[in-house]
A and B are shown apart, each in its own frame.
Chain A
Amino acid sequence: DAGITQSPRHKVTETGTPVTLRCHQTENHRYMYWYRQDPGHGLRLIHYSYGVKDTDKGEVSDGYSVSRSKTEDFLLTLESATSSQTSVYFCAITPAGLSGNTIYFGEGSWLTVV
């Protein structure tokens, strides 16, 4: 158990509405990540954080923003949800930072945009 919780676990929202997904960790890990997983694409990095208020873009960051105001929480916001953002979103941590060899995932947040 990597001590990661995601909320909400399931959400249905309408196109054009903002949505925020929360990732909470209890073990003071410095590095946190948001991925999305879609059929045929595998896991793709949206944004990651390497400390409080330190974030960077990943491969598929368009339409997403993140914030990390405290170590334990990493928020992913879809500013204006589109149907192409229907996906499952996984938060992840690497225990030893970027030098850490393993990555651990939260249970996922299933988002449907209608």
Chain B
Amino acid sequence: RKEVEQDPGPFNVPEGATVAFNCTYSNSASQSFFWYRQDCRKEPKLLMSVYSSGNEDGRFTAQLNRASQYISLLIRDSKLSDSATYLCVVKAGNQFYFGTGTSLTVIP
């Protein structure tokens, strides 16, 4: 079983739509959680950390449910520039574990 699992998509949504991505992790001892964004043929870049209380950064909202070992990312009012692959990342002990990514395309 993979440490981190994500729906690979693709998600194709119109501009202005709201889209949600989910991620589950298997290690209950995981202590840190993140969403990264990766553009085609580029490196992953930190989008936001995910806190137990949930957190928001502009149009992006991240939620963590430790009991269900589940992380989510909500993007409101999607922009064309949001088209990318979104990676769920979990840190357990000294190791980072990466999901395979969810592909998002925002359509004009």
Contacts and interface: CB of A to CB of B under 8 A. Distances in A.
Interface stretch (A11-19, A22-30, A76-84, A102-110): A102-110
Contact of A90 (B43, B94, B95, B100): B43
B34 A105 contact: no
Contact of A43 (B32, B42, B44, B46): B44
Q: Mostly helix, strand, loop or mixed at chain B's interface?
A: strand
Interface size class of B (residues with CB under 8 A): 20 to 34
B98 interface: yes
Nearest to A58: B95
A5 to B, nearest CB: 12
Nearest to B91: A101
A107 B42 contact: yes
Q: What are the nearest 5 A-B pairs in CB distance?
A: A105-B43, A43-B98, A42-B100, A42-B98, A98-B94
8 contacts: A40-B100, A42-B99, A43-B87, A101-B32, A101-B34, A101-B91, A106-B43, A108-B42
Given A43-B44, A101-B91, 17 more contacts: A39-B100, A42-B99, A42-B100, A43-B87, A43-B98, A90-B43, A98-B94, A102-B34, A102-B46, A102-B49, A103-B89, A103-B96, A105-B43, A105-B45, A108-B41, A108-B43, A110-B41
